[in-house]
Chains A and B, each alone.
Chain A
Amino acid sequence: MKTLDQTSSLFWLLVSISVFVESLRLGIGTLKNPGMGFLTFGASGILGILSFVLFLKASFKKEEVKTAPLFTGQLWKRILFILIVLILYSRMMSVLGYLISTFLLMTALFWILERKKIVFVFVSSILTTLFTYFVFSKWLNCQFPDGLFGF
């Protein structure tokens, strides 16, 4: 936990400095007439101090340095793959439309864990896509993008 706290506190320290500088740029105003950056100026200032305190606390903690990596085993690669798929889906949705992009997304997601059962993957993806389309678009009137193909 010691290394984790040191790393995270430095990250928040950087965030606080950035927000602090931006708050000053926005203008903190006066006490009689607080400006746009008034609250964030205070919040980032306290965040910076607390991040520094956390860093010091972590540094002086009598604990053995954790040597195990944060992301262990093969499973985190699965998450990375899912992340890439999700970003691609967000990018392609307005281009390909809801039906095609969702079918591709579901195929990819089902495929990650059920690689051998191709028929199952395809049938599940089609059913899920159509079911959610009719429930959310037709029944609940959600406005999904049509995409280049018009559906």
Chain B
Amino acid sequence: MAQLPISGWSVRILRGKVGFFDNIIYGFQVTFQPINFLFCGIGVLVGTLVGVLPGIGPAGAMALLLPATFKFSPTSTLILLAGIYYGVQYGGSTTSILVNIPGEASSVITCLDGYQMARQGRAGPALGIAAWGSFIAGTIANMGLVLVAVPLARAALRFGPPEYFALMCTGLVIVTYLAQGSILKAIMMALVGIILGSIGLDIITGLPRFTFGINELTDGVGIIPLVMGLFGISEIFVNLEESLEREIFKTRIKNLWPSLKDWAQAKWAIVRGSIIGFLLGILPGGGAVIATFVAYAVEKKVAKEPQRFGKGAIEGVAAPESANNAAAGGSLIPLLSLGIPPNPIMAIFFSALIIHGIQPGPLLIKQHPDLFWGLVASLYLGNFLLLILNLPLISMWVKVLEIPYKLLFPLILLFCLIGAYSMNNVVFDLYVMIFFGVVGWIMRKFGYEGAPLILAYVLGPMLENALRQSLLISQGSFMIFITRPISAIALGIAFLLLLSNLFPYFKKQREKYEEFKE
């Protein structure tokens, strides 16, 4: 798709004649275009559905819908994907509270107190505070996104290949550091991701490498079949190995509006969860999952009666549910301002932009203000839609939960197959997806994670490009990474993080964190 021409509005932004509120109004004008409004609504509904259903995560859902967006504008596509992303965060809480089964990994911690609240006949306030917390956190994250992304993008205009190389290295190190299992295995997966990302034509010489004579591999391994295989198909296999029956806790859902007492208990949890979620969302590999664990741990630490946690404390629902939504907003910052996706979901966003002919990076906000401000405004709108649509629709989501998995899994499998095929209309992609489905399933059994692999796979070609360009500039001297302050600081952080694994204190802290998660 051809790039949009720089509009008169962009020229005014470039000249600094457009203020913050003008931009927001412009964003709402973009979002309220019928097609974008429709995509926002579809996104949050599909996202909630995906969050409620086990077996197909946000990455899979986005990958599935991505080919269907080819004939629409990049702005509409991004609005749809963003809707799915934070819709999932909301939808996951419904299953955590009512079934004690998290629809998504970012809702695991909500089970602890959410389900207990449901058992005590307080499913309504639990769902209500989850929805309100998500809404407030989403709003705070949007504000943070605008405040941080624009100046960061401006600063990033001064970055060269060494800075990008260093930032990407740091990102990958943080991803492996924050991995849920073994760091060693996470680093190994990141290296495998880099190798996978190098399959196809070499960026500089244009010659094929690691294609083994297979013509279809000259374009590289497609991200959609890779993501669908590693996350979608492997998840189905894992579910199929277990019993397919699940029990839904029967309760009357009433009082969805939390009481004043509930609000008094939850208000600071929402604020703290939002801030933690937003900050951890920016970090590479942080994302929504870790944000929920940290937010819950902080609430328990600051609570006057920590013993209430795990027994139906409303703060135990408010904090993680706020954190996961805020993280969704925060994780857009590195992507939109630096062009570096911080987690696998953002890698799908990244691919969507590339497919639509837009290069994510510091120039994105200036060259495509409709996309950036439209997306920001759609986040506000999406959060509002989630609130007004989902609270009345909770009984419908409960009905969805009652659909047996044995009926769902063939449909999810078919959707994955259609998603993988329709990207390039090539049967080879189906084989790639099935192959990585098996690889992902076996990786789970052996304790390897898919997230570092996906992120390194996306960053790999950019990392290689930046490294080779840097070495060409410096005439083969690695000192270029040390003599430039930003890259020196970024690499220093990465080095310290790697080194910290050797120190007993950090090792103990990490062990505690893993124990807490278990």
Contact A75 B422 (CB under 8 A): no
Contacts of A73-122 to chain B: CB distance below 8 A = 73, 75-76, 78-79, 82-83, 86-87, 89-91, 93-94, 102, 105-106, 109-110, 113-114
**In the complex, chain B residues whose CB is within 8 Å of the CB of A33:** 471-472, 476
Q: Does A39 contact B (CB under 8 A)?
A: yes
Contact A132 B446 (CB under 8 A): no
With contact pairs A86-B417, A136-B68, A143-B425 given, residues A128 and B410 touching in the complex (Cβ less than 8 Å): yes
**In the complex, chain A residues whose CB is within 8 Å of the CB of B446:** 4-5, 7-8
Q: Which one, A22, A79, A86, contacts B210 given CB within 8 A?
A: A22
**In the assembly, what is the distance between CA of A31 and CA of B362, in Å?**
29
The segment from B47-55, B183-191, B271-279, B297-305 found at the interface with A is: B183-191
Q: Mark B61-101, 1 if CB is under 8 A from A, else 0.
A: 00000011001000000000000000000000000000000
Q: Does A1 contact B (CB under 8 A)?
A: yes
Contact B195 A109 (CB under 8 A): no
Contact B195 A76 (CB under 8 A): no
**In the assembly, what is the distance between CA of A109 and CA of B198, in Å?**
35
Contact B210 A4 (CB under 8 A): no
**In the complex, chain A residues whose CB is within 8 Å of the CB of B191:** 43-44, 46-47, 50
Q: Mark B153-186, 1 if CB is under 8 A from A, else 0.
A: 0000000000000000000000000000000110
Chain B minimum-CB-distance residue to A142: B422
**In the assembly, what is the distance between CA of A101 and CA of B463, in Å?**
41
With contact pairs A34-B471, A40-B198 given, residues A8 and B244 touching in the complex (Cβ less than 8 Å): no
Q: Does A36 contact B (CB under 8 A)?
A: yes
Q: Which one, A47, A83, A86, A141, contacts B195 given CB within 8 A?
A: A47
Q: Does B242 contact A (CB under 8 A)?
A: yes
Q: Which one, A32, A44, A124, A142, contacts B472 given CB within 8 A?
A: A32
Q: Does B447 contact A (CB under 8 A)?
A: yes
Interface residues on A, range: 35 or more
Tell me how far the C-beta of A74 lies from the nearest C-beta in chain B, rounded to whole angstroms.
10
Interface residues on B, range: 35 or more
Contact A75 B471 (CB under 8 A): no
Contact B476 A32 (CB under 8 A): yes
Tell me how far the C-beta of A4 lies from the nearest C-beta in chain B, rounded to whole angstroms.
5
Tell me how far the C-beta of A31 lies from the nearest C-beta in chain B, rounded to whole angstroms.
3
Q: Does B126 contact A (CB under 8 A)?
A: no
Q: Which one, B194, B438, B448, contacts A83 given CB within 8 A?
A: B438
With contact pairs A22-B210, A36-B207, A54-B188 given, residues A43 and B194 touching in the complex (Cβ less than 8 Å): yes
**In the complex, chain B residues whose CB is within 8 Å of the CB of A36:** 202, 204-205, 207, 209
Contact B195 A40 (CB under 8 A): yes
The segment from B7-15, B281-289, B426-434 found at the interface with A is: B426-434
Contact B237 A79 (CB under 8 A): yes
Contact A79 B434 (CB under 8 A): no
Chain B minimum-CB-distance residue to A15: B192
Q: Which of B67, B188, B244 has the most CB of A within 10 A?
A: B188
**In the assembly, what is the distance between CA of A1 and CA of B286, in Å?**
26
Contacts of B389-410 to chain A: CB distance below 8 A = 406-407, 409-410
The A-B contact count (CB < 8 A) is: 148
Contact B464 A140 (CB under 8 A): no
Contacts of B311-350 to chain A: CB distance below 8 A = none
**In the assembly, what is the distance between CA of A131 and CA of B189, in Å?**
39
Q: Mark B198-223, 1 if CB is under 8 A from A, else 0.
A: 10001011010110000000000000
**In the complex, chain B residues whose CB is within 8 Å of the CB of A83:** 434, 438
Q: Does B468 contact A (CB under 8 A)?
A: yes
Contact A50 B184 (CB under 8 A): yes
Tell me how far the C-beta of B333 lies from the nearest C-beta in chain A, rounded to whole angstroms.
27
Q: Does B518 contact A (CB under 8 A)?
A: no
**In the assembly, what is the distance between CA of A51 and CA of B184, in Å?**
9
Q: Which one, B240, B422, B472, contacts A143 given CB within 8 A?
A: B422
Q: Which of B71, B187, B422 has the most CB of A within 10 A?
A: B422
**In the complex, chain A residues whose CB is within 8 Å of the CB of B482:** none
Q: Which one, B242, B427, B468, B476, contacts A90 given CB within 8 A?
A: B427
Tell me how far the C-beta of B80 lies from the nearest C-beta in chain A, rounded to whole angstroms.
12
Tell me how far the C-beta of A44 lies from the nearest C-beta in chain B, rounded to whole angstroms.
6
Q: Which one, B188, B205, B471, contacts A12 given CB within 8 A?
A: B188
Contact A87 B434 (CB under 8 A): yes
Chain B minimum-CB-distance residue to A19: B195
**In the assembly, what is the distance between CA of A57 and CA of B501, in Å?**
15
**In the complex, chain B residues whose CB is within 8 Å of the CB of A132:** 414-415, 418
Contacts of A5-35 to chain B: CB distance below 8 A = 5, 7-8, 12, 15, 19, 22, 26, 30-34
Contact B418 A50 (CB under 8 A): no
Contacts of A116-151 to chain B: CB distance below 8 A = 124, 128, 132, 136, 140-145
Contact A142 B434 (CB under 8 A): no
Contact A47 B410 (CB under 8 A): no
Q: Which one, B418, B438, B448, contacts A142 given CB within 8 A?
A: B418
Further pairs besides A40-B194, A142-B425: 14, Cβ < 8 Å: A15-B192, A31-B477, A34-B468, A39-B460, A39-B464, A43-B198, A50-B187, A86-B430, A90-B417, A93-B421, A106-B410, A136-B418, A142-B422, A143-B425
18 contacting pairs across A/B (C-beta < 8 A): A1-B447, A7-B446, A15-B195, A31-B477, A36-B204, A36-B209, A39-B467, A43-B195, A47-B188, A47-B192, A79-B441, A86-B417, A89-B417, A90-B427, A91-B427, A102-B414, A109-B413, A140-B67
Question: Which 7 residue pairs of A and B lie closest in terms of their CB atoms, listed nearest first?
Answer: A31-B476, A109-B410, A32-B476, A113-B406, A90-B430, A142-B422, A140-B68
